[in-house]
């Protein structure tokens, strides 16, 4: 399962070879985090590919934020200018990946991510 999470997260994050160790560590952390959030009696295997996608999205989001914080915003060489994503754009993309992971895993964690009024007579 770890290899599937790593491969998918790499595809989502678009990693370079030198950054793969960081991504691998983030994948392990995401897997552990999601396993810890599973409802009682539910295993990662019970979730199937949903677990793999959620862990990969979480790791990719963390990777993008981590790499963006250290990345050069752009550079110019002669007549060619290369620019990377703006910080706000990267943060928004990472947040969308995290929210997608939360939505996917909601049935397996017992948390919808929303709120409800319980025990309130109306």
Structure tokens at 32: 């552990």
Tell me the whole-structure pTM to 2 decimals: 0.69
pLDDT digits (tens, 9 = 90+) for 1-46: 888 887 777 777 766 666 778 888 899 999 999 999 999 999 999 9
pLDDT value of position 22 = 84
How would residue 91 be classed by pLDDT, with cut points 50, 70 and 90?
Answer: confident
Whether 6 and 24 have beta carbons less than 8 Å apart is answered as yes
Can you give the residue ranges of every domain in the chain?
2-109
């Amino acid at each position: 399962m770890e290899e599937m999470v790593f491969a998918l997260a790499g595809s989502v994050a678009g990693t370079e070879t030198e950054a793969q160790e960081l991504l691998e560590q983030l994948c392990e952390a995401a897997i552990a985090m999601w396993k810890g959030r599973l409802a009682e009696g539910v295993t990662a295997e019970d979730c199937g590919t949903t677990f793999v996608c959620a862990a990969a999205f979480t790791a990719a989001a963390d990777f993008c934020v981590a790499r963006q914080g250290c990345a050069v915003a752009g550079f110019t060489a002669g007549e060619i200018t290369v620019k990377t994503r703006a910080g706000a754009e990267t943060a928004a993309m990472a947040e969308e990946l995290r929210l997608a992971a939360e939505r996917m895993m909601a049935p397996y964690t017992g948390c919808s991510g929303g709120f409800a009024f319980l025990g309130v007579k109306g």
